Amino acid sequence: MLFTDASIRALKPKDTEYDRHADGRQGLVLRVRPNGSKSFRMRYSVNGTRAWWTLGEYPHITLKKAIDMHHQALREIAEGLDPKLEEKRRRDELAREAKRLRIGAVTVRNVIAVWAWRHARRERKRPREAVKLLEKYLGEPWKNRPVRELRKKDAVELLDRIVARGAKVMANRVRDLGKQVFMFAIDQDLVEINPFLGVRPPGGKERSRERWLDWHEIKVFWDALENPEHRIVRRMALALRLILVTGQRPGEVAQARIAEFDLERRIWTIPPEHIKTEPRGSTHAHLVPLSDLAIEIIQELIKLAGPRPCLLPNSRSIQNRDRPLHEKTLSHVLSDLVEGGKLFGLEPFKPHDLRRTASTHMSKLGIPRNPVIEKVLNHSDSSTGGVYDRNKYFPEKRDALTRWEVQLREIVSGKRPAYAEI
pLDDT at 355 over 50: yes
State residue 148's pLDDT score.
Answer: 83
State residue 121's pLDDT score.
Answer: 82
pLDDT at 246 over 90: yes
Mean pLDDT in residue range 400-410: 96
* Among 193-207, 352-366, 388-402, the least confident range: 388-402
* Phi, psi values for residue 305, rounded to 5°: -70, -25
Mean pLDDT in residue range 69-97: 84
Between 278 and 348, residue with greater pLDDT: 348
Mean pLDDT in residue range 4-31: 92
Mean pLDDT in residue range 226-253: 95
Mean pLDDT in residue range 355-378: 94
Mean pLDDT in residue range 377-390: 56
pLDDT at 331 over 80: yes
Mean pLDDT in residue range 377-395: 62
State residue 383's pLDDT score.
Answer: 46
Q: How far is CA 19 from the centre of its chain?
A: 57
pLDDT at 384 over 60: no
Interaxial angle between packed helices 394-412 and 292-305, expressed in degrees from 0 to 180 and rounded to the nearest 10: 80
pLDDT at 352 over 90: yes
State residue 143's pLDDT score.
Answer: 79
Can you spell out the DSSP letters for 375-393? HHHT----SHHHHH-----
pLDDT band for 4, please (50, 70, 90 cuts): very high
Q: Are 309 and 257 in contact (CB under 8 A)?
A: yes
Q: Which of 114-123, 184-193, 235-244 has the highest mean pLDDT?
A: 235-244
Question: What digits encode the pLDDT tens for the residues 124-182?
Answer: 877 888 999 999 999 899 877 788 889 999 999 999 999 999 899 899 999 999 999 99
Mean of the per-residue pLDDT values of the chain? 88
| Count of CB atoms situated within 10 Å of the CB of 74 | 16
Can you spell out the DSSP letters for 182-204? HHHHHHTTS-S--TTTT---TT-
Angle 181-183-185 (CA atoms, 0-180°, nearest 5)?
Answer: 70
pLDDT band for 100, please (50, 70, 90 cuts): low
State residue 198's pLDDT score.
Answer: 92
Q: Are 157 and 174 in contact (CB under 8 A)?
A: no
pLDDT band for 70, please (50, 70, 90 cuts): very high
Between 403 and 386, residue with greater pLDDT: 403
Per residue, the 3-state secondary structure of 114-172, as one string, reads: HHHHHHHHHHCCCHHHHHHHHHHHHHHHHCCCEHHHCCHHHHHHHHHHHHHCCCHHHHH
Q: What is the Cβ-side half-sphere exposure of residue 105, based on CA atoms within 13 angstroms?
A: 5
pLDDT at 382 over 60: no
State residue 111's pLDDT score.
Answer: 87
Between 77 and 299, residue with greater pLDDT: 299
State residue 102's pLDDT score.
Answer: 58
pTM: 0.63
The three-state secondary structure class of 101 is helix
Between 305 and 107, residue with greater pLDDT: 305
Q: Which helix (H) or strand (E) holds 268?
A: strand 267-270
The one-letter amino acid at 104: G
State residue 389's pLDDT score.
Answer: 41
Q: Are 39 and 55 in contact (CB under 8 A)?
A: yes
The one-letter amino acid at 95: A
State residue 218's pLDDT score.
Answer: 96
pLDDT at 394 over 80: yes
In sequence order, what are the residues at sequence separation of 6 or more whose Cβ sits closer than 8 angstroms to the Cβ of residue 289?
266, 267, 394, 397, 398, 401, 402
Mean pLDDT in residue range 242-246: 97
pLDDT at 212 over 70: yes
State residue 170's pLDDT score.
Answer: 92
Q: How far apart are CA 147 and CA 110, in angstroms?
A: 9
Determine whether 15 is exposed, middle or buried from the number of CB atoms within 10 Å of its CB (0-12, 13-18, 19+). exposed
Q: Which of 169-173, 218-222, 226-230 has the highest mean pLDDT?
A: 218-222
pLDDT band for 6, please (50, 70, 90 cuts): very high
pLDDT band for 375, please (50, 70, 90 cuts): very high
Q: What percent of the chain has pLDDT over 90?
A: 61
Determine whether 302 is exposed, middle or buried from the number of CB atoms within 10 Å of its CB (0-12, 13-18, 19+). middle
Mean pLDDT in residue range 84-111: 74
Angle 182-187-192 (CA atoms, 0-180°, nearest 5)?
Answer: 60
